[in-house]
Chain A
Amino acid sequence: MTAEPEVALDPASAPLPGPSSVGDAREQRVYVASQWQLMWWRFRKHKIAVVSGLVVIAFYAGVLGADFLAYADPDASEAQRSLMPPQRVYWFDGWRFGPYVYAVKGARDPQSFKRVYRADPSQKIPIRFFAEGFEYRVLGLIPTSRHLIGVDGGLDAGQTVFLLGTDVQGRDLWSRLMYGTRISLTIGLFGVTVSLVLGVVLGGLSGFYGGVADTVIQRTIEILRSIPTIPLWMGLAAALPREWSVLQVYFAITIIISLLGWTDLARVVRGRFLAMREEDFVVSARLVGCSQMRTIFVHMVPSFMSHIIAATTLALPAMIISETALSFLGLGLRPPAISWGVLLQQAQNVQTVAISPWLMLPAVPVIIAVMAFNFLGDGLRDAADPYGR
């Protein structure tokens, strides 16, 4: 959103001189900048929002650098390290900083049938930074095999490190988590974009024009909302061609989620339009003879940007949750694909809760991400709030 409409819109606050009026360019710039400043200042007040903002950025950095952050092949399975608990990392080797873990030996206890692992203090495995590991391409372009951390010997090292332990198949949870994050967060982003566009446009039309458009759109929304989501998911998901690859399915799923996700936003937008249609600045905008599209997108939409932002940031976590839900139903992404949903779905059993609780760790990033998005949204919302000053 740009500063001008904000100013133009709010009779109470239009400072002087308005951008439309005379006054030299320099002051204009200062002036506009200060509008952004104000917004930034307001945003800054919401401490948690700022932190959340950073968290979100961090997450998406992680999305881009998944292969770099992962240090093990997420699919490499090994029975002899099945269900290994997270390893304790020792940060200091004597006095100097040199993180290492102890080598572990594992076997199945013939009585309890649990796999038990013992650390062997005689065998230190130093953790190396920017170590050699499996091959990958940075952003799918530059081939490399450097990873954030790793151990000497790279792939063919007999003993290696498991920060978050391993799953039933002895696959490194940390690395799987990195790849899961990539998929889940992109799904969310993609999905929200789709439903945002749908929501604003359709909601806007229905609210602004009213009449037939409104009726039709409202009915559609009502019908869509009246069908419980799960049958819709099942129906649509089942309708997907079977021979589709994991990736295709993954996009299809996203579309499905967002096709159902836009209705909420649309309702919000419509509501605001209804409430606002008669407000004077809109009327005046009409009188001045702004084209309707212009009226909508230049004058009306920005004036409740805050609500769109709020609804969107609320929608994004919803996307993430939906993805996990779909996987739970075995409709969404399925193994061998890795996503938060898949990881959680594989943790959704008694034995995990009882004897390998670390497999539930993927819930943590989910929680953090969802909360971060919410707080970020809150902060933005407050900052963009026209009555904020």
Chain B
Amino acid sequence: MLAYIGRRAILAIFTVWAISVLAFAIIQLPPGDYVTSYIAQMASMGSVVSDEEAQNLRIQYGLGQPMYVQYLKWMRLIVQGNFGMSMEWRRPVTEVIGERLWLTVVVSVAALILTWVLGLPIGIYSAVRQYSVGDYVATFVGFIGLAVPNFLLALVLLYLGFVMFNAHIGGLFSPELQDAPWSAARVWDLLQHLPIPALILGLAGTAQQIRIMRANLLDELRKPYVVTARSKGLSEARVILKYPVRVALNPFASTIGYTLPYIVSGSIIVSVVLGLPTVGPLLLKALIAQDMFLAGTIVLLLGVMTVIGTLISDILLVWIDPRIRLEET
């Protein structure tokens, strides 16, 4: 087991490195660099950046050098724990991300909890009561969440929130508490802003959980060991919950790890629409502005989260599913 974890950990490190390279490459893929997009921005506002000035900027930002040099420089910074300056925000990347990162986690976790609390029970129910009215209703409702284009839904809810409840538009805080220091009031304010984002971000996930749970459980329900359990004289509830559900949960274990980063990157669009001060929109902006270090760091961050998550869930999986344990160790 330990050996296995060790091996996986080493692989993980390698993966992270590969991600850093890939991330860097992807960010460089679009034509031009930050300076180009900066000039374009100025141009579209009518003011003009001369070639010489552009050259200077490139030199100052070190954008002139070949890509691998830039990569190595970036790596050196990271090793020093300094993720560089955001060119657009003109602040250290860590600061820019810092304040948003944990808000992101809050929103995502809220969505995640919603997903599981709704998804799993419904999934179990509609597998056990296959083809019952309840099954149909449950899956139907669940799938609506999956089917509705959530960026549109987000906008509609935003508007209805204003029309019906005069709710504050978007964001996670009311303007007056925007940069107030932390206080009960501010937390309460945050909680009030949380439901809509959590709901929208959670919906799609919920549907998937329902579907997967139902599918897995249906498979397990027909396995002989369920008959065995029954033939022991166990109560039906016990039979279902102890055996097939337990087995059907394994696939979830294999996802639980990277669900969080997944939600973060999956929710970028909705977050933009809802104007959430989270990492998602920041990433999008950074990519558009080709703000190399900022975008790079966020992508890397999410990457690392995913890798660690995957590692955790694989270990979890090995722990709970002996079949694979036998495979791996």
- Name B265's closest neighbour in chain A (CB-CB): A228
* A138: chain B residues within 8 A (beta carbon): none
Verify if B147 is at the interface (C-beta below 8 Å from A). Answer: yes
Verify if B87 is at the interface (C-beta below 8 Å from A). Answer: no
Interface size on B, residues (CB 8 A): 66
Verify if A92 is at the interface (C-beta below 8 Å from B). Answer: no
* B174: chain A residues within 8 A (beta carbon): none
Chain B min CB distance to A305 (Å): 12
Indicate whether A324 sits within 8 Å of B30 (C-beta atoms), given known contacts A228-B299, A230-B265.
Answer: no
> Interface with A: B105-113, B183-191, B230-238, B302-310, which one?
B302-310
Chain B min CB distance to A278 (Å): 7
Indicate whether A275 sits within 8 Å of B324 (C-beta atoms), given known contacts A230-B265, A230-B268.
Answer: yes
Indicate whether A274 sits within 8 Å of B146 (C-beta atoms), given known contacts A46-B131, A325-B269, A387-B223.
Answer: no
Q: Is the CB of B147 within 8 A of A223?
A: no
Indicate whether A324 sits within 8 Å of B299 (C-beta atoms), given known contacts A350-B155, A387-B222.
Answer: no
Interface size on A, residues (CB 8 A): 62
* B266: chain A residues within 8 A (beta carbon): 229
Q: Is the CB of A235 within 8 A of B26?
A: yes
Alpha-carbon gap, A77 to B320, bound state (A) = 61
Indicate whether A344 sits within 8 Å of B131 (C-beta atoms), given known contacts A229-B265, A271-B251.
Answer: no
* B310: chain A residues within 8 A (beta carbon): 222, 225-226
Indicate whether A230 sits within 8 Å of B283 (C-beta atoms), given known contacts A223-B18, A367-B144.
Answer: yes
* B29: chain A residues within 8 A (beta carbon): 234-236, 238-239
* A382: chain B residues within 8 A (beta carbon): 130, 218
Q: Is the CB of A363 within 8 A of B149?
A: yes
* A349: chain B residues within 8 A (beta carbon): 155
- Name B126's closest neighbour in chain A (CB-CB): A378
Chain A min CB distance to B115 (Å): 15
Verify if A227 is at the interface (C-beta below 8 Å from B). Answer: yes
Indicate whether A367 sits within 8 Å of B254 (C-beta atoms), given known contacts A219-B11, A225-B306, A227-B26.
Answer: no
Q: Is the CB of A344 within 8 A of B149?
A: yes
* B1: chain A residues within 8 A (beta carbon): none
Q: Is the CB of B131 within 8 A of A45?
A: yes
Chain A min CB distance to B134 (Å): 13
Verify if B193 is at the interface (C-beta below 8 Å from A). Answer: no
**A–B Cβ pairs within 8 angstroms, 20 of them:** A222-B306, A226-B307, A227-B26, A227-B303, A229-B265, A230-B269, A232-B26, A234-B29, A235-B27, A235-B29, A278-B323, A321-B149, A348-B151, A350-B159, A353-B156, A353-B159, A370-B143, A374-B211, A375-B143, A378-B139
Contacts from A to B (Cβ < 8 Å): 12, 45-48, 210, 215, 219, 222-223, 225-232, 234-236, 238-239, 267, 271, 274-275, 277-278, 306-307, 310, 314, 317, 321, 324-325, 328-329, 344, 347-350, 353-354, 360, 363, 366-371, 374-375, 378, 381-382, 385, 387-388
Other than the given A226-B15, A307-B215, A388-B222, 6 more pairs (CB < 8 A) read: A231-B283, A235-B25, A306-B219, A317-B147, A371-B140, A381-B215
